[in-house]
Amino acid sequence: MSEFVILIGQIFVIGVIQIIIEVFINMSDKPYQSKIINIACFMGSFYLLLDFTYNYLLKDISRLVNISLF
């Protein structure tokens, strides 16, 4: 459970950083730069989610499947 809270905290920090950067960048003057920042923040959050899934969820699911088979 603590790993999930850490994941939510990391994604929250990425969202806050994205909002702060968007405040400093004028979105109407630099639309391409804002799109790059949005994509980078999305990819960072997606990476953290995939990392959490592979490291914690899949191990627990495979352990439950192995226990139920035997």
pLDDT tens digits, residue range 28-37?
788 889 899 9
- Our measurement of the distance from residue 54's CA atom to the centroid of its chain's CA atoms, rounded to an integer in Å, reads 13
Question: Residue 69 — very low, low, confident or very high, per pLDDT cuts 50/70/90?
Answer: low
Task: Return the SS3 of 12.
Answer: helix
Q: Which long-range contacts (CB under 8 A, 24 or more apart) does 34-39 make?
A: none
Instruction: Say how many C-beta atoms besides its own lie within 10 A of residue 5's C-beta.
Output: 9
